[in-house]
Structure 1
Amino acid sequence: MHSPRGALAMLETPRRLTPLRIAVQVVGFAIGVALLVWCVALAVGKADPEQWSRLRASGWAPAAWLLGLTLFTVVFNGLAFWVTLLPLRRLKPADLIAVNALATMLAYLPFKLGALARVVIHRRRDNVPFRDIIAWLAGYSALSLATLVPLVVVVGLRPRLDALTVGLALAGALAANGAGVALGRLSERRTWLAALSMGSWRVVRHPAPVAMCAGAKLADVAVHAARFTVAAGALGIDLSLDRAVVFALAYFLLGVLSPVGMVGIREGGLALGGAALFALDEAARADLARLVLLVSASEVVAIVPLAFLGGAWLRVDRLLWKRS
């Protein structure tokens, strides 16, 4: 499911894990765990018996929707990786979706394990040259940002969701992706620009993959908003579509930008940030904590088996013993 930041992180020059870097990762992960514990305490500290009864009485439909929507987001992001690789290499879509499921599970952990898994699998299993991996992931990152940044800016400036907001967000994404195509084609004639792009011009100069990647990213944002809407309905929380979109974008970006793994960062960050942004009272803060925990719990329930299925499909056991 993730992420432009994770992909960019893979492109950094490999560095030795010094004690300081290990300490930063361990402390950061511990902070995430502490935020998760705090969020759970907030959710259950003043539990509403009626709300829990409503959740139990809601049956399997909300759970099925949440699990299904998580599956969709894994597929959409896997396809986004697939289409951006097409200008360089043609692999099976199912393989990219399987890698995405495995990398998403590993992204909960520190040390950028999800990012590392993508590089190792495609280098060792698919024999994709490292030069192409760099160009591909740089292109994927650039296109993801070209789609998501306009959405964040527009929603941040105009959080009311209406036709104008949607139009401005789509126009911004279209303009940013169009500029990416133009820069990609210009890089063919400007060696300094090609070098600056880390090879991503080889991906972004093609309009069809650019458009398909943008479509997959927009669909992913819609799926994230739908997850919050379904979870709110199951808990009996009144959640407007405006706030569902804001929460979905924040939840997604917190996971994307976290350098120490996703555990607790999205939950604690959204509970704290949402409460501050909307000036929520104590009861509303507890509702928000329950909401984000339900979204995350359903994600874990779906992602873990999907990751193991993906690992079996890819035969990662063979990759572990294969010498590069």
Structure 2
Amino acid sequence: MTNVLVSRSWIWQIVGFSLGVWLLWTVLQGAAQAGDFSALRDADPMLLVLMLVLSLASSVCNAALFTLVSRPLQHQPSLSLQRMVPLNFSCGALNYAPFRLGALTRVAWHIRVDGMNASRVSALMAMAGGWYLLVGLTAFGAFWLRPSADWGTLGLGLLLLPAGWALGRMGIAKLPGGLFREARPMLNNPRASLECAGLRILDLMCFTGRLLVGARILNIELGLAEGVLLAVVATFASLVPFGRLGFREAGVAGAAGAIGSIDPGLRDQLSLLDSAAEAAAYVPLGLVLSVLWLRPHFKRVQSKSC
């Protein structure tokens, strides 16, 4: 029975990754059909650097989120920011590979290097993912209900965030006993919750800023509310379990098309430019860290266990 489930999982991963490649190809075709890449060729180098910096900052925010989520856990000092930053870059680069290799690497790291059990790792991943969903849905709801991007939008978001957090706590309380037992310290720590919310908001601002800068490069009129909505779509599409490739590009391009005022070719170019800026930050540095930092840590742990 287990072998059958594993085989089906591999089949779904192959199908999902193939779908992602096809989606990426359609976005590339759409961008190519626009035929005009003059805005990209004439782009201000400082704007491109700014997109890269925002991508780096987003990765650091994500790494810090894992550190803060784990802070209430006792006897778990290994999830320091100094270790989570290189781990996050390595996993981010590996997530471009099939089978969500980066997520599998993170799980293996927490079990083998940090010495966590499966329940604690599951709770940690669930809490980190939960903050992604909570802040993303809050921002989406606030800007959807009040797209004017004013103080009223901010107030609406501040009302939706604690309401969503309370609903999330109720949902997590229904998790299996082991998972809830591990997640309870994270849920019951107000300071960690506030810090995690702040980090996710900062991360979303990095996503939004990168899209707005990309829109400026391509001479696309994109308002703050529209930028936030696209950033939420980009964040959620990045969590697709079949891999990072293709789904986010298609999601951002499709959401930009739903706005209605963006040329089809330009919306595809915006999606690809945004993804390229993130890949430029993650892939080279992440692969180097995977070889020079991640792999030696795994080998050191393996040698100690022998």
Shorter-chain TM-score: which interval?
A: 0.7 to 0.9
- Contact 2:131–2:200 under 8 Å retained in 1: no
1:80 aligns with 2:65: yes
Query: Equivalent residues in 2 for 1:265-284 (5 A)?
Result: 265-275=247-257, 277-280=258-261, 284=263
Number of the residue aligned with 2:271: 292
* Pick aligned residue for 2:244 from 262, 272, 282: 262
Is the alpha carbon distance of 1:292 and 1:99 closer, same or farther for their aligned partners in structure 2, counting shifts above 3 Å? same
Superposed CA offset, 1:207-261 (max 9, x none): 11111111110001111010011111112222111211111111111112x1211
Superposed CA offset, 1:298-318 (max 9, x none): 111110122134335634245
1:137 aligns with 2:125: yes
1:302 aligns with 2:287: no
Task: For residue 192 of structure 1, report the CA deviation from its aligned partner.
Answer: 8.8
Task: For residue 320 of structure 1, report the CA deviation from its aligned partner.
Answer: 5.0
Task: For residue 22 of structure 1, report the CA deviation from its aligned partner.
Answer: 2.0
1:250 aligns with 2:250: no
Is the alpha carbon distance of 1:90 and 1:271 closer, same or farther for their aligned partners in structure 2, counting shifts above 3 Å? same
Number of the residue aligned with 2:77: 90
Number of the residue aligned with 2:50: 65
Task: For residue 168 of structure 1, report the CA deviation from its aligned partner.
Answer: 0.9
More displaced, 37-46 or 266-275? 266-275
Superposed CA offset, 1:66-102 (max 9, x none): 1100000000000000011111122321211111111
Is the alpha carbon distance of 1:274 and 1:54 closer, same or farther for their aligned partners in structure 2, counting shifts above 3 Å? closer
- SS at 1:161 equivalent: coil
CA distance in 1, matches of 2:268, 2:117: 44
Query: Equivalent residues in 2 for 1:187-206 (5 A)?
Result: 197=180, 199-206=182-189
More displaced, 73-82 or 264-273? 264-273
CA distance in 2, matches of 1:46, 1:136: 44
Superposed CA offset, 1:250-278 (max 9, x none): 1111112x121121111112223432x22
* Pick aligned residue for 1:110 from 74, 98, 105: 98
Query: Equivalent residues in 2 for 1:36-55 (5 A)?
Result: 36-48=24-36, 52-55=37-40
Task: For residue 127 of structure 1, report the CA deviation from its aligned partner.
Answer: 2.3
- Normalised by the length of structure 2, the TM-score is 0.87
- Contact 2:133–2:236 under 8 Å retained in 1: no
- Contact 1:138–1:199 under 8 Å retained in 2: no
- SS at 2:120 equivalent: helix
Task: For residue 279 of structure 1, report the CA deviation from its aligned partner.
Answer: 3.5
- The count of residues paired between Structure 1 and Structure 2 equals 299
Query: Equivalent residues in 2 for 1:191-230 (5 A)?
Result: 197=180, 199-230=182-213
Give me the identity figure in percent: 27
- SS at 1:58 equivalent: coil
Is the alpha carbon distance of 1:267 and 1:313 closer, same or farther for their aligned partners in structure 2, counting shifts above 3 Å? same
1:239 aligns with 2:227: no
- Specify every segment of 5 or more residues in structure 1 that has no aligned partner in the other structure, as ranges: 1-13
Is the alpha carbon distance of 1:291 and 1:104 closer, same or farther for their aligned partners in structure 2, counting shifts above 3 Å? same
Task: For residue 193 of structure 1, report the CA deviation from its aligned partner.
Answer: 8.3
CA distance in 2, matches of 1:192, 1:30: 32
CA distance in 2, matches of 1:192, 1:54: 50
More displaced, 225-234 or 140-149? 140-149
Query: Equivalent residues in 2 for 1:2-41 (5 A)?
Result: 18-41=6-29
- Contact 1:154–1:169 under 8 Å retained in 2: yes
Is the alpha carbon distance of 1:317 and 1:195 closer, same or farther for their aligned partners in structure 2, counting shifts above 3 Å? closer
- Contact 1:82–1:93 under 8 Å retained in 2: yes
- Contact 1:98–1:310 under 8 Å retained in 2: yes
Task: For residue 119 of structure 1, report the CA deviation from its aligned partner.
Answer: 1.4
